[in-house]
Amino acid sequence: MRVILNGKERDIPNGLTVDGLLNHLDVRPQRVAVEINRVIVKRDRFAETYVQPGDTIEILQFVGGG
C-alpha cells in the first residue's frame, strides 16, 4: 500500500503495525518517535497501531548532540 513517509510517497507491505513498519525499514524503535497523520503514536502503542493506506507518517530521530 501507498503511504507518505517522511514527506515522500512510498510503497510498504499491507497490514503493518508501527513496530512492523520500523522493522521493515530497519529502524530501531528506541531511536525514534513516530507521528501518523500529525498525531504522535505513543511508544507503548507501537505494537497495536496499524498503518493505513494513505497515512502520512513521520519517523523522527532522537538527535542528542550539541
What residue ranges bind other proteins (CB under 8 A)?
Answer: 6-7, 28, 30-31, 33, 35, 38-40, 42-43, 58, 60-66
CB of 8 to other proteins, least distance (A): 10
Place of cell 503514536: 41
If the CB atoms of residues 1 and 33 are measured against other proteins, the closer one turns out to be 33
- 7-31: b (≥16 Cβ within 10 Å) or e: eeeeebeeebbbbbbbeeeeeebee
Q: Which of 54, 42, 14 is nearest to 32 (CA)?
A: 42
CB of 30 to other proteins, least distance (A): 4
CB of 43 to other proteins, least distance (A): 7
